[in-house]
Amino acid sequence: MDRRTFMKKGGLACSALALQDSAPFLDLQHLDKDKIPLIDTHLHLWDLGHLDYPWLKNPENPLSRNFLIADYHEATAGLPIEKMVFVECGRAPNQYLQEVDWVLGIQERDKRIAGMVAYFPLEKGASGLREMEALAERKIVKGIRKAFMPNHKAFLEGVKLLSRFGWSYDLNIRTKDLPAAYEFAKAHPDQIIVLDHIANPDIGNNEWQDWRKGISAFSKLENVSCKISGMLTKTNPSEESIDQMKPYFETVLDVFGMDRVLFGGDWPVLLRAASYQKWVHDFYEMAHALTPNEKQKLYHHNAKQKYKL
């Protein structure tokens, strides 16, 4: 979820959100003949009456309403979602433990929520160890996502503590941040890093050359995996989505290989562009030529390994 550019497609978002309940489900059977289960590594849910979400205060923001597990069930009806990984949703920073406990309550109703990438203020550095230990008591936590601060000494100290708990680090950046992210990942070879949303390239405005150059450097960094998610929201809505996304999709597979790529839904932020059904349709179409073994890795096997599900 890239909050800095969230309102870029506000008008489109309003119509896309309406698709959630009213659009007919797409026929995906011809694309999913292998019937391989999906693990959604990027699920967001929020209840505005339970926690405080500063980025959702604007009433003109089309996502400024509740998105609950029942809504996700409806959005994904008929799809082979085997497990989900919940990713922190930008609640007030001091409520990160409350968010984890809220997700634990949801897990009781849907056991497919197999893990969570929680928020933690890594910039506390070594002084945050006791708070990390309290967070680790919630076994659902598999990783941490916190804004990238490559020049912050205490943040880097905090990152080094993640391995004590076996946690991954979700890296949510833009194309311009790829060189710094490469140096960061290279300097932390034992830290499992998951690059969110293929680094959020502006696909619709053809941010191709800089993105390809920046992401290609990661080919030799075995500790970094890439989440194939968040792509539809970066496309130009007036052009065919698959045609725009496919070069990026294929480049990610070339750079990271089949052992370091994961599927993610990024729902409900995805609704800025289209329905969950549309994203899975496009994802299956782009993955159509892969072998059954390659699909198993991309669809679910890699997620189990990287997030220790």
* Percent with pLDDT over 90 in the chain: 88
Q: What pLDDT is stored for residue 20 in this prediction?
A: 45
Q: What residues contact residue 281 under an 8 Å CB cut-off, 6+ apart?
A: 26, 28, 31
- Tell me the per-residue pLDDT of 127-169, one tens digit each, with 9 for 90 and over: 999 999 999 999 999 999 999 999 999 999 999 999 999 999 9
pLDDT over 50 (residue 6): no
pTM: 0.91
Number of structural domains the chain divides into: 1
* pLDDT at 1 > cutoff 90: no
**pLDDT for 31:** 54
Token pair 């209840």 is found at 47
CATH code where residue 271 lies: 3.20.20.140
Residue range 164-220, pLDDT digits in tens: 999 999 999 999 999 999 999 999 999 999 999 999 999 999 899 999 999 999 999
pLDDT of residue 242 exceeding 70:
yes
Domain, as residue range, for 119: 3-306
- Mean of the pLDDT values across residues 69-88? 97
pLDDT of 26 reads: 56
Tens-place pLDDT, residues 19-47: 444 344 555 555 555 689 999 999 999 99
Residue bearing the bigger pLDDT, 2 or 160: 160
